[in-house]
Structure 1
């Protein structure tokens, strides 16, 4: 059995990469003053009850970690509960239908080939900077209507937001407070950037998603400026990070399991199964947070109102009660209802796009590399935050 965590010397705080999850399905952590949920069944129960488990976690976040008065999260979809959630989600759901996404396939393949051709001119191929990052950010930038040439700026923002290696806690340390202020400065920069583009669309509309947001109406009224900007930020960030991480993780799996790589190379129709198993085994966004609106019982534990509950998707996707041999990379599992894209009303809108980008990129990488493997002697550097599972740099031989 290949242990991904040990093979690539991944730090132990990514605990779900180092063997079976030897934890109860639900436990309270007195140090962090939060509930942790590791079980698959319990995670499904939470995602199926948004009335009890609210997505608005800001209301129970320490005030030292809250955004300053100049930052608004109004309309930020991942923090919105019903009934407002369904109204706002409809505004962008039409941009990510299966047909709309399928029509993007030729353009995605074209962009992928362009980046691979550019990388061929260099001595080394670094997966993240040469392909896994620029591919999805170019696609989402074109959809949104902002210059893809600004992708260096977008990456700097994403790196700042996901650079923290701190333990998650409701007790705000000085280090966490300083990191929160850094993130707020980044948020100000993103808001100003997208706000200027939104203002320009009001004057000169285009055939892009940002124009649709500016012109959209909810209950007969246009969206407030803050909501338009927050929609744009969410799409820009979530629209590329999942695919970036997914590609790196899938290559790690194919390197660790060469027999599966040979099968995928021989039969490209199996690539979607490879991607789904990669999403389960190395879940990109390892955790989702919820806040309780009332006292509730979960797996025999009484959880009070206004508690912060961390649902560890990465652990639930390795729950042996749901997935036989959860530590193994088994493409084409008979039953693989993983939670990598969430579940319920907040299921990831961009999941079809991420899957398509992943399939195209892996297919073309197999075409370009006779043996898709990590460069011998090179280290696998992960994104430091424990809530994201993905490589920051990955040199290929």
Structure 2
């Protein structure tokens, strides 16, 4: 594992999670203790590191809006049409209801058989060669295939999906805009095709949906597609990879899971807490307010460091330990309140089935520790680019 993060005087001026490397946790601890509600002058933003402070933000969307304003003027804030992450009530509630049916527990459970088929096909390389990259060979393609099939996207276009998704979460604004432009141009063409020939997929369902008797606007559908693509694969890719990191760092936990596979769901929850796939999210202050004696002004941004909250000792006893039996485990990895991740059940299921099949297929999995770990380049995400392993067939 990477050495402890070097806490520098200007470490608070973080613009992308990837700047912190794979061990930001000492910095989180330092900030929680000494400056838990920090004002970042460079960004004109507040940064929160404590669990309860972040809960306060998510519980009050009327004060901390999901809209984004690059100008600092809330009147200019972006109320993105179909992107649930950047939409406030009541529109958020209306739009979320449209896609909820695609992510009900029953619907997700019915996908288990297909997910197992996909995982088994992806593990074939390991069976044949004795080695694989858990990211490139499993964690990346699995959620991309699943969400592509839900959207009705043909297999030959999945690589483009992944490329656009990586650009959209990039800390580079130019890359982000390029990814969004190319993705939206692609889906505009898909929409035209579906208007001519509806299919049994989410895109066709959105075309036929309506809110209060009115059909969705094209921009709203495009926003939905963008969100489903990014949220549908980036978070799950990181979750699977981060689980691999945890099981490598704590082999005793992996051994216990092999002996009792019923521990896997609880272990995944601990992975979500211990190495959260998303380390922070942002809000915009739309009403002057006070938080623990600090005066937050209209137009200022608020960055909530989930990764820090999930290791807050006020909420989690012995937060620096990886405990696969931890209960309760009220982590914030999937958010809270109205913006709780809609795809959480799917991410959990994909990760659970991925490791069930890994442990069933290979009696031994050895991580190649001589290969340096490279953090993904992301504004908010936490994960590794590659995770090389040697495997032995069961």
* Fold shared, TM-score > 0.5 on shorter chain: yes
Partner residue, 1:175: none
State the Cα deviation string for residues 258-315 of structure 1 (Å, max 9, x = none).
1111100000000001110000011111111001111111122111111100011011
Kindly indicate whether the alpha-carbon contact (under 8 Å) linking 1:162 and 1:383 is maintained by their aligned counterparts in 2.
no
Aligned length: 374
Is 1:96 the counterpart of 2:93 in the alignment?
Answer: no
Partner residue, 1:16: 24
Is 1:58 the counterpart of 2:51 in the alignment?
Answer: no
Alignment partner for residue 312 of structure 1, among 295, 305, 314?
Answer: 305
In structure 1, runs of 5+ residues without a counterpart are 165-178
* More off after superposition, 14-23 vs 337-346: 14-23
Task: Classify 1:248/1:311 alpha carbon distance in 2 versus 1 (closer, same or farther; 3 Å).
Answer: same
Instruction: Supply the distance in 2 between the matched residues of 1:7 and 1:106 (Cα, whole angstroms).
Output: 41
* More off after superposition, 216-225 vs 52-61: 52-61
Instruction: Supply the distance in 1 between the matched residues of 2:248 and 2:149 (Cα, whole angstroms).
Output: 32
State the Cα deviation string for residues 47-82 of structure 1 (Å, max 9, x = none).
11111110001365699xx99xxxx94322111100
Task: Classify 1:88/1:17 alpha carbon distance in 2 versus 1 (closer, same or farther; 3 Å).
Answer: same
Kindly indicate whether the alpha-carbon contact (under 8 Å) linking 1:287 and 1:387 is maintained by their aligned counterparts in 2.
yes
Using the TM superposition, give the Cα deviation of residue 31 of structure 1 relative to its aligned residue in structure 2, in angstroms.
2.7
1:225-236 equivalent positions in 2, closer than 5 A: 225-236=218-229
Partner residue, 1:75: 82
Instruction: Supply the distance in 2 between the matched residues of 1:82 and 1:379 (Cα, whole angstroms).
Output: 45
Partner residue, 1:29: 40
SS at match of 2:284: strand
Partner residue, 2:137: 130
State the Cα deviation string for residues 297-339 of structure 1 (Å, max 9, x = none).
1122111111100011011101111111111111121211000
Kindly indicate whether the alpha-carbon contact (under 8 Å) linking 1:19 and 1:327 is maintained by their aligned counterparts in 2.
no
Alignment partner for residue 147 of structure 2, among 140, 148, 156?
Answer: 140
1:172-321 equivalent positions in 2, closer than 5 A: 179-321=172-314
Kindly indicate whether the alpha-carbon contact (under 8 Å) linking 2:139 and 2:236 is maintained by their aligned counterparts in 1.
yes
Task: Classify 1:131/1:330 alpha carbon distance in 2 versus 1 (closer, same or farther; 3 Å).
Answer: same
Instruction: Supply the distance in 2 between the matched residues of 1:291 and 1:319 (Cα, whole angstroms).
Output: 24
Kindly indicate whether the alpha-carbon contact (under 8 Å) linking 1:13 and 1:386 is maintained by their aligned counterparts in 2.
no
Instruction: Supply the distance in 2 between the matched residues of 1:99 and 1:389 (Cα, whole angstroms).
Output: 30
In structure 2, runs of 5+ residues without a counterpart are 7-17
Kindly indicate whether the alpha-carbon contact (under 8 Å) linking 2:150 and 2:202 is maintained by their aligned counterparts in 1.
yes
Using the TM superposition, give the Cα deviation of residue 22 of structure 1 relative to its aligned residue in structure 2, in angstroms.
1.5
Task: Classify 1:75/1:162 alpha carbon distance in 2 versus 1 (closer, same or farther; 3 Å).
Answer: closer
Kindly indicate whether the alpha-carbon contact (under 8 Å) linking 1:137 and 1:148 is maintained by their aligned counterparts in 2.
no
SS at match of 2:314: coil
Partner residue, 2:354: 361
Task: Classify 1:284/1:47 alpha carbon distance in 2 versus 1 (closer, same or farther; 3 Å).
Answer: same
SS at match of 2:135: helix
Alignment partner for residue 342 of structure 2, among 345, 349, 357?
Answer: 349
Task: Classify 1:283/1:5 alpha carbon distance in 2 versus 1 (closer, same or farther; 3 Å).
Answer: farther
TM-score, structure 1 normalization: 0.89
TM-score, structure 2 normalization: 0.90
State the Cα deviation string for residues 213-250 of structure 1 (Å, max 9, x = none).
01110111111111111101110111111110000000
Is 1:152 the counterpart of 2:159 in the alignment?
Answer: yes
Kindly indicate whether the alpha-carbon contact (under 8 Å) linking 1:382 and 1:391 is maintained by their aligned counterparts in 2.
yes
Instruction: Supply the distance in 1 between the matched residues of 2:49 and 2:109 (Cα, whole angstroms).
Output: 34
Q: Provide runs of 4+ in structure 1 moved above 6 Å.
A: 7-11
SS at match of 1:277: helix
